[in-house]
Structure 1
Amino acid sequence: MVAPASADSALGTRIRELSRAHVFTSWSAQQEIDPVPIAGGKGAWFWDHDGRRFLDLTSQLVNVNLGYQHPRLTAAVQEAAGRITTVAPSFAEQSRAEAAAAVAGLAPEGLDKVFFTNGGAEANENAVRMARLHTGRSKVLASYRSYHGATAGAIALTGEPRRWGSEPSVPGVVHFWGPYLYRSEFWATTPEEESERALTHLRHTLAAEGPQHVAAIILEPVVGSNGILVPPPGYLEGVRALCDEHGILLILDEVMSGFGRTGAWFAAEHWGVRPDLISFAKGVNSGYVPLGGVVISAEVAATFDHTPYPGGLTYSGHALATASAVAAIGIMQDEGTIEHAAALGEQTLGPQLRALAERHEVVGDVRGLGVFWALELVADRTTREPLPADRMKAVQQACVARGVWPLVMGNRVHVVPPCVITHEEAAQAVALLDEALAEAGR
């Protein structure tokens, strides 16, 4: 366990007061929140200014894959700042070139070019723009259970309720239902049925929209914010086949699932699916400096060999951000982070989280890969009625009181710690979650 720096409650109070007075917080009713001022962190732990420390099951926003304050990663940012701080996209620059080569080297064969952005939403915006220009088509299909970002185009792609406040939005997006066996839209009873029926639904949606008008289908290979939904066997392969049949591009949003989160560099590796475009961000550099991007297939990239790409960002491939990506990828390779994340899922998180379902009636479903897991909590296992908000809050408070910080999304607890959490720390976190579920159950 990491000891926090000396507590300074007065500083914590000042930060809280300044934040409440001047910081406009995303996705929040401003007068109904009271954010905890964070003083520091190390590895899988963070602490506040009162000296309280927490084992982090959130990775902040599922992005601190290498944990807090990795010395080699922070040193890389410092070294880059000493060399040069910013270079316009029209110039070539060392860390930008090395980061692009490193990311492309991890992608499936034939995806060799990288367009850098400042985050995941911009990555998805540009992936869709590329798909539309490459195909000459306008429509894009996206799942209802998805989140692709909050910029104008990305929130239009998003299927879940966070898009409602931005509607009417960018035209041309059509939503469909993806697989989710626990709450199947297709009356399926097995993973195989769910996969087959979800693909039939997608085929029917394509037919209704006219596949000749569809530029791309965008998917999170493992759905993140909407439930850590691991696709059933054959689903991603079936979507790839549908795209190939109709000349549609497949965009995989790996913003959350990429760079170790599922125990692979990219989640699509689990199913051997090659997309045409990959959007990424978050784990590529553990969020130490804002960075995202699109990995582009040779076929799509060739569209812009002699025709200018009509898009760009002042900070595309920012020198400090790309330097941190080069360092982060090197760290993951040298320290076996991907293999460690896979082992955590197989040996510790998976078995121990599933054991919670045997001890607590409130746990309706457990699912995940690597360090990407969700417990779906229900008031009744037979009806699968979601656990109400007041009881979810009780679970969250019980966790915090025990020194573990959960990521609560709707009626789910997402267990998404840094990929560097140890097996012992992961077991400790699950044990504390076990206690919190027991207390909230009472």
Structure 2
Amino acid sequence: MSTQETNQSVANNDLDYVFHSWSVQNQLKPMAFKTGKGCYLEDFEGKQYLDFSSQLVNTNIGHQHPKVVAAIMEQAQLLATIAPAHANKTRALAAKKILEIAPKGFKKVFFTNAGADAVENAIRMARLYTGRRKVLSTYRSYHGNTGTAINATGEARRFNNEYAQDHIHFFGPYLYRSEFWSSTETEECQRALHHLRRIIECENPASIACIILESLPGSAGIMVPPAGYMQGVRQLCDEFGIMLILDEVMVGFGRTGKWLTLEHYEGVTPDLITFAKGVNSGYVPAGGVIISEKISDYFDDKIFPGGLTYSGHPLAMAAIVATIDAMREEGMVENAARLGAEVLNPGLKALAAKHRVVGEVRGLGLFWAIELVSDSEKKTKFTAADMNKVKQLCMEKGLVPFIAENRIHVAPPLIVTEAEVQKALAIYDEVLSVFA
């Protein structure tokens, strides 16, 4: 490659040849990054940026982690690829390490290429196991961009992609913008569960295969469920014979200060768990379904009608093994829990108290949302133009933000230091001061 590359020349080449997702193509202005290390990215002109997006909330171990890069290289030299029908030593080890993280009662892992096809296959398993068709999910959710996953999605990206059948949506709890006229977390929990019960009853419980929920809704707003809500959903599933799928694609593998976010909800064990992203920080695409014993055993004498050419790809599996090992050795999950509770939580709440445009901050571990409003009493959302300005100002100050609707999602790599968190908080403070 030419040594004369600039940010603009790389961006121009990208725009000339690459069709981008979720975009109007002639309105794109992509950033160009050359490399990264830890919590930082570097562009082609040497400027460094603190990455507080973890890209799409996936680079949990940071950029260019040497142990994971080395594991991928070692695996590539030994066996770069193999068909999934063959026994794969690294795939078995990756599955074993994932099952050690899962709750008791889970038996096997089905590997996919990403989170969306993990959701596809989890829903397929639930439908086959129950002999039912309907899938329930919340309006404020995102589960992926493949056929069934996008229909399970509750937000606007679903609208032009609704081809799959038998999907029903319901409102989950979100006290700040309650659909249930609630004034307390307790009211929101009780009313949201009553709403879900009525949806189940009105849709014929005997026709419902599964309820799929993000363990903590991510792209739709990082809305922490009120105490008792997840337990209530589990009880409804048990009452009506419905499978519970918890989607850990964005929030699994340390993001919220637990190995899996479902660990925050005492006594809640799903029937299927989907994962991707943080399992190997996206170094090589991978996802999967963690399967409970009862569903795994069901397919012992029945065919499972699904598969992928790259299921359990050796390079991805090597990255999973190395990522989980590195996370354990370096205490990344513990770091996320400590910094989230002791630094990020109080820091963001201080910003909310200082800036009138902050309607609410909420989150767990190293996964938080700053919800921006132009009118705090009416809770009027920041416009797209305002959010574009927020993003531009953050980038100018050397921070890569995650912007979603009227929110800044705060999601640094789990290796982040207290000093880096304080640096990001100072940048958010400067940016929000512009809108005073």
TM bracket, shorter-chain basis:
over 0.9
**Counterpart position of 1:19:** 14
Residue matched to 1:259: 253
Query: CA-to-partner distance for each residue in 1:273-303, whole Å, 9 max, x for gaps?
Result: 1000000000000000000000000000111
Aligned partner of 2:189 among 169, 188, 195: 195
Per the alignment, in what secondary structure is the counterpart of residue 415 of structure 2?
Answer: coil
Give SS of 2:351's match: helix
Which residue of the partner structure matches residue 408 of structure 1? 403
The match for 1:184 is 178
Which whole-Å CA distance do the structure 2 matches of 1:435 and 1:113 have between them?
Answer: 48
Alignment of 1:148-187 (within 5 A): 148-167=143-162, 169-187=163-181
Deviation (angstroms), 1:13: 3.3
1:13-162 mapped onto 2 (5 Å cutoff): 13-162=8-157
Q: Distance in 1 between matches of 2:404 and 2:66?
A: 31
Q: Which amino acid aligns with 1:314?
A: T
What CA distance in whole angstroms lies between the structure 1 residues aligned with 2:47 and 2:24?
26
Question: Within 1, Cα distance between the matches of 2:377 and 2:31?
Answer: 37
Note the C-alpha offset of 1:398: 1.4
1:269 aligns with 2:263: yes
2:252–2:259 contact (8 Å) kept in structure 1: yes
Alpha-carbon distance in 2 for matches of 1:405, 1:87: 37
- Matched residue, 1:224: 218
Give distance in 1, aligned partners of 2:160 and 2:37: 37
Deviation at 1:390, TM superposition (A): 1.7
* Paired letter, 2:334: E
TM-score w.r.t. length of structure 2: 0.98
Which one-letter code corresponds to 1:44 in the other structure?
C
Task: After TM superposition, give the deviation of residue 12 of structure 1 in Å.
Answer: 3.2
1:174 alignment partner, SS class: strand
Contact 1:374–1:414 (Cα < 8 Å) also in 2: yes
CA distance 1:9–1:206, shift in 2 (3 Å): farther
Structure 1 counterpart of 2:335, which letter?
H
SS of the aligned residue for 2:82 comes to: coil
> Root-mean-square deviation (CA), in Å?
1.0
Q: Do the aligned partners of 2:136 and 2:168 also contact (CA within 8 Å) in 1?
A: yes
Aligned residues: 434
C-alpha distance in structure 2 between counterparts of 1:387 and 1:313, whole Å: 42
Query: Does residue 309 in structure 1 map to residue 278 in structure 2?
Result: no
**Which residue type is aligned with residue 430 of structure 1?**
L
* Distance (whole Å) between structure 2 residues aligned to residue 73 and residue 384 of structure 1: 44
Kept after mapping to 1: 8 A contact 2:6/2:45? no
Partner of 1:417: 412
1:105–1:112 Cα contact (<8 Å) kept: no
For structure 1, which segment, 98-107 or 9-18, has the greater mean C-alpha deviation from structure 2 after superposition?
9-18
Superposed CA deviations along residues 297-323 of structure 1, whole A, max 9, x for unmatched, are 000011100111100000000000011
C-alpha displacement of 1:11 = 4.3
Deviates more, 1:113-122 or 1:158-167: 158-167
Cα offsets for 1:23-43 (capped at 9, x unmatched): 000001100011111111000
Q: Distance in 1 between matches of 2:370 and 2:31?
A: 24
In 2, the alpha carbon distance for the partners of 1:110 and 1:32 equals: 49
Query: Is contact 1:42–1:67 with CA below 8 Å preserved after alignment?
Result: yes
Query: Per-residue deviation at 1:53?
Result: 1.1
- Counterpart-to-counterpart distance in 2, 1:198 and 1:310: 35
Q: Which of 322, 341, 345 is the equivalent residue of 2:317?
A: 322
Please report how far the alpha carbon of residue 9 of structure 1 lies from its aligned counterpart in structure 2 after TM superposition. Answer: 5.8
Provide, for residues 315-335 of structure 1, a one-character-per-residue CA deviation record: whole Å limited to 9, x for no partner.
Answer: 000000011001100111111
Q: Is the 8 A contact 2:52 2:411 kept in 1?
A: yes
Pick one of 240, 243, 257 that aligns with 2:237. Answer: 243
- Asked if 1:343 corresponds to 2:343, the answer is no
Could you list the per-position Cα deviations for residues 102-121 of structure 1 after superposition, in whole angstroms to 9, with x for gaps in the alignment?
00110010112000000000
Gaps of 5+ in 2: none
* Counterpart residue type for residue 190 of structure 1: T
**Aligned partners of 1:56 and 1:332: how far apart in 2?**
19
Question: Partner letter of residue 106 of structure 2?
Answer: L
Q: Distance in 2 between matches of 1:216 and 1:257?
A: 20
Other-structure match for 1:3: none
Q: Deviations over 1:245-286 (max 9, x none)?
A: 011000000000100000011100001210000000000000
CA distance in 2: counterparts of 1:292 and 1:362, whole angstroms: 37
- 4+ residue runs over 6 A deviation: none
The structural deviation recorded for 1:72 is: 0.5
Quote the sequence identity (%).
52
Q: Partners of 2:244 and 2:8 in 1: how far apart?
A: 48
Shift in CA distance, 21/207, structure 1 to aligned 2, threshold 3 Å: same
1:210 has 2:197 as partner: no
Matches within 5 A, 1:281-300: 281-300=276-295
Shift, 1:14, TM fit: 3.0
- Cα displacement string for residues 132-183 of structure 1 (whole angstroms, at most 9, x for unaligned residues): 000000001010000000011110110100011112x100110000000000
**Structure-2 separation of matches of 1:11 and 1:407:** 24
Asked whether the 8 Å contact 1:149–1:158 carries over to 2, the reply is yes
CA distance in 2, matches of 1:421, 1:321: 24
Partner of 1:4: none
CA distance in 2, matches of 1:131, 1:117: 16
Instruction: Report the AA paired with residue 229 of structure 1.
Output: M
Deviations 1:58-107 (A, max 9, x none): 10100000000000010000011011011111111111000000001100
Mapped partners of 2:128, 2:28: distance in 1:
43
User: Distance between the aligned counterparts of 2:105 and 2:362, measured in 1?
Assistant: 32
Q: Residue 383 of structure 2 aligns to which amino acid in structure 1?
A: P
2:421 aligns with: 426
